Amino acid sequence: MSSISPVQLLTIEVVSLGMKISIRKGELTAESCDMLVVNEFEEFEGVKSGGAGSGTKYLAGEPRGATGAVDKALGGLLVQLARQYQFKGELGTSFLFRTNGIIPAKHVLVVGLGKKQEFDTEAIRQAAAVSYDEARAVQAKRV
């Protein structure tokens, strides 16, 4: 079974509602676009807030996969902002930030996927809807 490297992206082109969506294979962190989308489940490695046993997890240290690759390329900015915004990866949650030229993408959107064991097509639909809404909000032409 083959797999895509976490720092690569797969591209397919779809034109719908006046928005052209492209998904193609390439290096994720070198992608020049208006908004780059990555995601995290609730069960990621985290640090607890409010002391031991509080149960609130934040994105920590070294996220994996595409999120980890983007964080590394941004010098840890993604994790820093996730902590600041208290992002927990809950389904339907997200945070958006500008990269200020650190990577070619103008914005990065981090979308919560919810609990890994509950991940299904409805979770995919919700994550896609959040991504679409944020892309429209920043008037992104290339996502």
The pLDDT, as a whole number, for residue 123 is 93
Tokens 């920590």, residue? 60
SS3 state of residue 128 = helix
What residues contact residue 122 under an 8 Å CB cut-off, 6+ apart? none
Q: Contact at 8 Å (CB) between 94 and 111?
A: yes
Q: Contact at 8 Å (CB) between 112 and 37?
A: no
Per-position pLDDT tens, the chain of length 143: 444 444 555 444 445 556 566 666 778 899 899 999 999 988 655 444 444 444 555 554 467 788 989 999 999 999 899 889 888 889 999 999 999 999 999 999 999 999 989 999 999 999 999 998 999 899 988 88
The pLDDT, as a whole number, for residue 23 is 64
Nearest to 135 by CA among 8, 13, 37: 37
What pTM value is reported for the model?
0.78
Enclosing H/E stretch for 98? strand 94-98
Q: Contact at 8 Å (CB) between 28 and 69?
A: yes
